[in-house]
């Protein structure tokens, strides 16, 4: 057995133990040849349907690159879709263009997050009518298009809807004709209704320690996360990429071409693909996550290496994919320097541009945890006193604590938020832009908050004090996938009296609520 074969054998033995759950699948290709095509466990544990390379799987947000591929195949200049996009955003004075959408530089708040502010219960339905209403109600942007990055699912729903209308064909038909047939993805389909797959494959919530249960999905996804494909379909896609690698006009060459912000700074996301570095090599790819499903694909062009991981449960598919890349390249994933002391700048802060709270605490020897974006991030401490994970960097300088997030084209000095939060904020608040409400209740000395709007009334959640007039409202569950992150509540006062709250999370920022009771 060669060294590579031995490493891959160890990888396949470790995956079900390291990422335990009902089932999974992995493909590894190099230079167009399949090194690994492997599935384990069950696609449907109750019906005892084995997971195979032919099982359909929800590829989740990996869909976004296929949406952009269909758009680029139909139109050399995607701005042909701009009038149709503007029509779907009637209350915006200047709607973002198709390229801003495709690069997640639109400034639109994510409709999945905004749905929470409209009171959507965790397992409520969210279909075409609800999505169109949330999108059409957009009155402001959270930043000027092309100046910043923020993940926004409806960017790609808008693209697929506009493409469907412009072409006069269903999005499913466009995907089949322009992408799937060309790449040899024989069984891939648009499975917009997330409640079931035709071959019975099921997604699961839970954990090995507490057990698994079938995940509830009542969301209709399209160009943002609607595709279902088998491992064999994705192998065909990776082979197509490798076969066309030397053609600058190929779909993947166009999808992975360099992208910039308006100021010329390089952007790490474009056309539904993230750009990054792993083990010193440039990568493109995307993760995917819906309730009950996790997926990840990564492509290293210089190595002609592709990895695809599917899990029908909530383990870390991205980490599993990096394990596979490390096994092929015979690399080791670096860990933190555990001898470095905890920095003195841990605690509570506020980022001035987004208005969001920044909470920093220890995450084990040599690491800090940052709660600011969509998910908590772990940053490794550095000998110079900074902390970084390659995407975010925290460093002390003469002006204070600076947070650099080049993937968002953003750098700012954080505002200290030390001290106790004032508890006199119970009451009712109204957001005129959303026509939605927030209620904060004092229940026996503990503060709870909940949202209400045209989608319903959410459950009360215990507020977490962050600092003076700064609170966090946790969002443990959402319509789908992990929730959009904790909501920051920044209290406004006049002469000491509470008059309103500015509310936001990383996916939906700077929304103003006035106190009405």
Q: Would you state the pLDDT for residue 193?
A: 82
Choice among 61, 106, 256, 306 that is catalytic: 61
d(Cα 418, Cα 318) in Å, to the nearest integer? Answer: 35
Q: Is residue 20 helix, strand or coil?
A: coil
The predicted-structure confidence for 385-437, as pLDDT tens digits, reads as follows 999 998 999 999 999 999 999 999 999 999 999 999 999 999 999 999 999 99
Relative to beta strand 33-44, strand 23-30 is antiparallel
The backbone region for 409, taken as left when phi is positive above 0, alpha when psi lies in -120 to 50, beta otherwise, is left
What's the length of the chain? Answer: 517
Q: Are 417 and 349 in contact (CB under 8 A)?
A: yes
d(Cα 30, Cα 294) in Å, to the nearest integer? Answer: 23
Token readout for 251 is 């779909």
d(Cα 141, Cα 139) in Å, to the nearest integer? Answer: 7
Please write down the HEC assignment for all residues of 101-169: HHCCCCCCCCHHHHHHHCCCCCCCCECHHHHHHHHHCCCCCCCCCCCCCCCCCHHHHHHHHHHHHHHCC
d(Cα 365, Cα 381) in Å, to the nearest integer? Answer: 9
Q: Are 366 and 310 in contact (CB under 8 A)?
A: no
SS3 content of the chain, % helix, strand, coil (to 5): 25, 35, 40
Domains by residue range for the chain, with CATH:
3-107+143-329 (3.40.710.10), 347-416 (2.40.128.50), 427-515 (2.40.128.50)
- C-alpha 376, offset from chain centre: 12
Q: Are 34 and 307 in contact (CB under 8 A)?
A: no
d(Cα 64, Cα 269) in Å, to the nearest integer? Answer: 11
Residue with tokens 């009542």: 218
Question: How would you write the pLDDT of the chain (517 residues) with one tens digit per residue?
Answer: 689 999 999 999 999 999 999 999 999 999 999 999 999 999 999 999 999 999 999 999 999 999 999 999 999 899 999 999 999 999 999 999 999 999 999 999 999 899 999 999 887 889 999 999 999 999 999 999 999 999 999 999 999 999 999 999 999 999 999 999 999 999 999 998 877 799 999 999 999 999 999 998 888 999 999 999 999 999 999 999 999 999 999 999 999 999 999 999 999 999 999 999 999 999 999 999 999 999 999 999 999 999 999 999 999 999 999 999 999 999 988 889 999 999 999 999 999 999 999 999 999 999 999 999 888 999 999 999 999 998 999 999 999 999 999 999 999 999 999 999 999 999 999 999 999 999 999 999 999 999 999 999 999 999 999 999 999 999 877 777 667 889 999 999 999 999 999 999 999 999 999 999 9
Q: For residue 64, indicate whether it is catalytic.
A: yes
Q: Would you state the pLDDT for residue 481?
A: 65
How many helical (H) and strand (E) elements, i.e. helices and strands, does the chain have?
12, 34
What is the maximum alpha-carbon separation in the chain? Answer: 76
What are the phi and psi torsion angles at 84 (to 5°)?
-70, -30
Choice among 64, 230, 357, 458 that is catalytic: 64
Q: Which residues pair with 400 in a beta bridge?
A: 397
Q: Would you state the pLDDT for residue 347?
A: 96
For 409, other C-beta atoms within 10 Å of its C-beta total 20
DSSP code at position 176: I
Q: Would you state the pLDDT for residue 1?
A: 67
Q: Would you state the pLDDT for residue 196?
A: 75
Q: For residue 512, indicate whether it is catalytic.
A: no
């Amino acid at each position: 057995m060669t060294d590579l074969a031995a490493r891959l054998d160890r990888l396949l033995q470790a995956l079900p133990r390291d990422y335990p759950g009902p089932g999974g699948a992995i493909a590894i290709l190099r230079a167009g040849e399949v090194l690994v095509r492997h599935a384990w466990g069950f696609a449907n544990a109750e019906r005892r349907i084995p997971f195979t390379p032919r099982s359909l799987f929800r590829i989740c947000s990996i869909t976004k690159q296929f949406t952009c591929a269909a758009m680029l195949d139909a139109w050399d200049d995607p701005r042909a879709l701009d009038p149709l996009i503007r029509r779907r955003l009637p209350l915006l004075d200047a709607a973002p263009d198709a390229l801003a959408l495709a690069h997640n530089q639109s400034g639109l708040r994510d409709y999945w997050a905004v749905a929470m502010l409209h009171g959507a219960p965790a397992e409520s339905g969210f279909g075409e009518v609800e999505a169109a209403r949330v999108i059409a109600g957009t009155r402001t942007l959270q930043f000027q298009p092309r100046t910043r990055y923020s993940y926004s699912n409806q960017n790609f729903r808008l693209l697929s809807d506009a493409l469907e209308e412009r072409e006069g064909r269903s999005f499913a038909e466009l995907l089949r004709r322009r992408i799937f047939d060309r790449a040899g993805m024989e069984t891939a389909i648009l499975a917009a209704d997330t409640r079931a797959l035709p071959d019975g494959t099921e997604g699961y919530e839970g954990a090995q320690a507490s057990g698994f249960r079938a995940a509830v999905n009542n969301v209709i996804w399209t160009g943002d996360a609607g595709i279902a494909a088998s491992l064999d379909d994705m192998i065909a896609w990776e082979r197509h990429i490798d076969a066309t690698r030397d053609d600058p006009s190929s779909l993947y060459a166009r999808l992975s071409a360099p992208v910039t912000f308006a100021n010329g700074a390089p952007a790490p996301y474009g056309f539904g693909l993230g750009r990054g570095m792993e083990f010193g090599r440039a990568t493109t790819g995307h993760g995917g996550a819906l309730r009950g499903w996790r997926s990840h694909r990564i492509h290293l062009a210089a190595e002609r290496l592709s990895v695809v991981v599917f899990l029908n449960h909530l383990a870390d598919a991205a980490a599993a994919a990096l394990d596979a890349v490390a096994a092929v390249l015979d690399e080791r994933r670096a860990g933190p320097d555990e001898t470095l002391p905890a920095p003195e700048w841990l605690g509570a802060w506020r980022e001035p541009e987004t208005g969001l709270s920044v909470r920093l605490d220890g995450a084990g020897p040599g690491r800090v945890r940052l709660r600011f974006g969509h998910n908590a991030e772990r940053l490794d401490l550095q000998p110079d006193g900074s902390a970084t994970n390659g995407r975010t960097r925290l460093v002390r300088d003469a002006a204070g604590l600076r947070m650099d997030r080049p993937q968002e084209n953003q750098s700012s000095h954080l505002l200290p938020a030390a001290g106790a939060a004032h508890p006199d904020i119970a009451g009712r608040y109204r957001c005129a832009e959303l026509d939605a409400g927030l209620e904060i209740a004092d229940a026996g000395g503990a503060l709870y908050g909940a949202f209400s709007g045209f989608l319903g009334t959410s459950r009360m959640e215990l507020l977490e004090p962050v600092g003076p007039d700064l609170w966090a409202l946790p969002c443990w569950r959402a319509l789908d996938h992990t929730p959009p992150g904790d909501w920051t509540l920044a209290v406004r006062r006049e002469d000491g009296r509470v008059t309103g709250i500015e509310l936001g999370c990383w996916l939906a920022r700077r929304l103003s609520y006035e106190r009405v009771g």
